[in-house]
Amino acid sequence: MKSQFHIYLLLAASILLTGFTAVLISMGATRKAENTQSLIRSYDVIESTTQLWSNLQDAETGQRGYMLTGNNEYLEPYNSSLWEIDLELSRLKSLTDDNPLQQGIIQNRLVPLIGKKRTELELSITQFQRSGSEAALTIMKTDQGKLTMDTLRTVIQNIKAQEEQLQKERTSELEKAYYTYNMISFAGLFVIGFTMMIAVLTIRKKSKENRHLMALEVENNRKLIRLNEKEVKLRMDISKFMGNAAHDLRSPLNAINSINELMKMDAYQLSEEHREFLDFISESTSQMSALINNLLEVNKFEEGSLAVTPEHIDIHALLKTLIFGHETATRRKNIKIKSDSDFEGRTVYTDKGIFVQIADNLISNAIKYSPLGKKVEIYLKEDITGFRLTVTDQGEGISETDMPRLYRRYQTLSTRPTAGEKSTGLGLSIVKELVDLIGGTIDVKSVHDIGTTFSVLFPNIPVTEDETCGIREIQVQN
């Protein structure tokens, strides 16, 4: 056991180290990618400033060529350069949107200077077209265009110089990121490999121990067979004992309940605290009675002695009685019961005991798993093949993982009673077995935080001549 614990511990450590290393590698990779992207952006900014300056020079060259020759062919590169200047300026703004200093220089100095230069170029060309080359040359001789270009060169070089400094810093950060990333990767792989090696050695040691244990397995299997035979006999004895005990418990429980009901008749003479005690006794005896009934049903299934005994019953009145039996629980949880029936004043031919067990379990569960102040709806509706009992609560609902285990005995589901009530895990399994016994069907629909609906179809049982004189028994094969 100790060796096995060490194996699990080493494997768990390996998994944790793998996960931790993966996180560190992921963080390193992210940082590396961010630094790489920043470095690429610096290269793009430098390339953009160089291209912008080249476009400005091309625009000025086109202007001078047109004014010196009067040839319109020079206007084509001039106009193209102006369009590319706008495009490159927009690109430069986008590339430096994470750098407030560069953005300030571009907006406050570069953009106005480029606008000024464009105005000078357009003015000289317009003057040339209107008044001839002499007027245009007069503008050019003022050296205003040269001064603007010199200033533009200085501003662009300043932007470029700052970006080159950023480029150096980002290159250094990228190198550190690569170094950190590689160190984490190598260190993580080394630790994982070392841990896995220890785990493998431990597993090999455990394997040797297992071979020794396997030698004892045959003998243990023989013992298990003998124990299994004893267990079968013990289960039969326990089943018999449970049946007897449940029957024996009914008498004192009924006595307690009867005395409690008598005391309730004089409840107006008691204090509020004592009346609460009486309600608590009623609820406790009801729960105990339900548990005894469930145990008896399980015992009948185990023995294969459960029988279907149909009779004509006033099912509407019977349902009202069952609902009234849960009055203490509904009052304590402030739950409103809404019920409706198609059978008022009519009888149905079915097994009374089975109906009571099914309805009582479903109603009890609906109340048990409903939050305080909610509503439980109970309907008895006529169906073409019989009649249908539907019970709907407004509880948490049944999870998808619990659905396959819903009708198994002694199952503990993830949904818990809302007021600390006890659950034996027998109720729904008994409901399902009883529904199968009478040839009915049970359906469940559940929505998280909306509620759950159980719908049971009780099939029509034909009334024969023999059944009017006696009962029809269906033996359950164990």
The full DSSP string for 34-61 is: HHHHHHHHHHHHHHHHHHHHHHHHHHHH
> Residue 106 and residue 90: Cα distance in Å, rounded?
10
Instruction: Give the chain's domains with CATH numbers.
Output: 2-203 (1.20.120.1730), 306-469 (3.30.565.10)
Which helix (DSSP H) or strand (DSSP E) does residue 351 occupy? strand 348-351
Measured CA to CA, the distance from residue 369 to residue 393 in angstroms comes to 8
* Long-range pairs for 40-45: beta carbons < 8 A, 24 or more residues apart: 41/95, 41/98, 42/163, 42/164, 42/166, 42/167, 42/170, 43/167, 44/95, 45/92, 45/95, 45/96, 45/102, 45/159, 45/160, 45/163
- Smallest Cα–Cα separation from 447: which of 404, 393, 406? 393
Q: Which residues, 6+ apart, have CB-to-CB distance to 29 below 8 Å?
A: 181
Structural contact between residues 405 and 411, judged by C-beta atoms closer than 8 angstroms: yes
Instruction: Round to whole Å and give the CA distance between 227 and 233.
Output: 10
Please list the pLDDT of the chain residue by residue as tens digits (478 residues).
Answer: 556 666 666 667 667 767 777 776 777 677 767 777 777 877 888 888 888 888 888 887 887 787 777 778 878 888 888 898 888 888 888 888 888 888 888 888 888 888 888 888 887 788 777 777 666 666 666 667 778 888 888 888 888 888 788 778 878 777 777 777 677 777 767 777 777 777 677 777 777 777 777 877 877 888 888 787 776 666 665 566 555 655 556 557 666 766 766 666 666 666 677 666 666 676 666 666 666 666 665 665 566 667 788 999 999 999 999 998 888 889 888 999 999 999 988 899 999 989 999 999 999 999 989 999 999 999 999 999 999 999 999 989 988 888 888 888 877 777 888 877 777 777 888 899 999 999 999 999 999 889 999 999 999 888 665 554 444 443 333 3
pTM value > 0.85: no
